[in-house]
Amino acid sequence: MSAPPIESIRVGRVRVPLRRPWASDVTDVTVLPVEVRRTDGVTGYGFSWTPTIGAGAVRAFLEEELAPWWTGRPADPALWPEAWARVHEAGGGGVTTIALAGVDLALWDAAGRRAGTGVAELIGRRHDTLPVYGSGVNLHYSLDELVAQTERWVAAGHRAVKVKIGKPDPREDLERMRAVREVLGPDRELMVDANQRWSLAQAVHALGMLEEVRPAWIEEPLRADDLAEHRELAKRTGIPIAVGENLHTVHRFREALDAGATVLQPNIVRVGGITPFLEIAREVRAAGATLAPHLLPELSAQLAFALPEEHWIEDVEDARFAELGALAEEPGLVFADARVSGGPAAGLGIRFREPREEDTP
């Protein structure tokens, strides 16, 4: 896409309190709003996102490395590979790609605003509506709280849910998943997420027990970086393995596919934005694997609308940015009856409500 040069890039910082803490010490998440102003007067709004760790490092990287490099260059997402090559010395992924996402999202948003269309339409919308699965950061919930959450998901019409596992004793995980499965019944999907808590031996043992509740996938059973052990685990369990939220480049996703992962879960911000996400989606499709975008439903849904296949959208209970009152501008998505539809009139429509200077301590 042809685009004028970037005039300026501004980075903010917003703390977003959670309605439902993700752990006793995780009561809020941090967002870094990024504004890219083009020389034609169009401003695009993106963001970088580090839920609990690293916001200061990402902000510094944006302000000290990416903003000076991109200012004066075309406001074109096609420069993403060149920008990544420029910052690669500081790391192939992680802080570098999370920072790149803030600019990339803003560039796509600006292009949509200039064209007067949503980003899904800009890419080429293929779906009017997509299914949503209920998700919870709930390992710290009591059994009664977990059952009540599952009952809310069923009442809302969800055909699939995802639950955290990884208690010190896998028998407790099994007890909790039996209770969840009883509420779900036999026909709804149950996905489980261990968040990298197990060794290979622990994973083989726990998954052997959990086969009883028929998980649709086991997410991050092992340390995400250790693809050799994922390859071995894939030989020793019949439960599909899901990875991706902690992988940062298309190269790591190719390796994960080679290691036997069959469900790939790119987080659009962690991989560096829309531009690399679309490349990863093509790789997953070519491999015949399943794509399941990780978190950020207000962003993930918009991109999934433009993909050929129908994909599940993850929706953590009470954690959408709009629900948390964090947005000054909302993307116009409608979440109802366990599906998502709609979208913004122009761009991404995700602009954060930043604190006024007098509100900042």
Q: Do 181 and 308 fall into the same domain?
A: yes
How far is the C-alpha of 321 from the C-alpha of 315, rounded, in Å?
Answer: 11
- Listed in sequence order, the DSSP H helices in 185-262 are 200-210, 227-236, 250-258
Same domain, 132 and 89: no
The band of 361, judged by pLDDT with boundaries at 50, 70 and 90, is very low
> For the chain, what percent of residues have pLDDT higher than 70?
98
Residues 173 and 264 in one domain: yes
172 and 91 part of one domain: no
Which range marks the domain in which residue 234 is found? 122-352
Average pLDDT of the residues in 149-156? 98
- Cβ-in-10-Å burial (0-12, 13-18, 19+) of 294 comes to buried
Are residues 254 and 153 part of one domain? yes
**Per the domain annotation, does 254 fall within a domain?**
yes
Nearest to 106 by CA among 272, 233, 328, 236: 272
Residue 26 sits in the same domain as residue 175: no
Q: What count of Cα atoms within 13 Å lies in the side-chain half-sphere of residue 282? A: 8
What's the pLDDT tens digit per position in 64-100? 999 999 999 999 999 999 999 999 999 999 999 999 9
Pair (228, 101) in one structural domain:
no
Could you tell me if residue 359 is inside a domain?
no
Count of residues making up the chain: 361
pLDDT confidence of residue 359: 39
Reported as a pLDDT band with limits 50, 70 and 90, residue 51 is confident
CATH of the domain at 33: 3.30.390.10
Strand partners, 10: 35
pLDDT tens track for 225-261: 999 999 999 999 999 999 999 999 999 999 999 999 9
Q: Is the pLDDT of residue 297 over 60?
A: yes
Q: H or E element: which one contains 148?
A: helix 143-155
For the CA atoms of 62, 63, 69, 74, the dihedral, rounded to the nearest 10 degrees, stands at 80
Summarised one tens digit per residue, pLDDT across range 29-46 is 999 999 999 999 999 999
Same domain, 108 and 133: no
The region that residue 162 occupies, defined by phi over 0 for left and psi between -120 and 50 for alpha, beta otherwise, is beta
CA separation for the pair 141, 208 (Å, rounded): 24
For residue 1, tell me if it sits in a domain.
no
Closest CA to 242 of 190, 182, 290: 290
End-to-end CA distance of the chain: 42
Last residue of a domain, one of 100, 118, 136: 118
Task: Provide the token pair at 303.
Answer: 């991109």
Residues 314 and 134: their CA atoms lie apart, in Å, by 7
Q: What is the mean pLDDT of residues 172-189?
A: 98
Q: Structure pTM?
A: 0.95
Please report, for the domain that includes residue 182, its CATH number.
3.20.20.120
Specify whether 113 is located in the same domain as 246: no
* Same domain flag for 112 and 134: no
Mean pLDDT, all residues of the chain: 95
Q: Looking at the predicted structure, is the pLDDT value of residue 357 above 50?
A: no
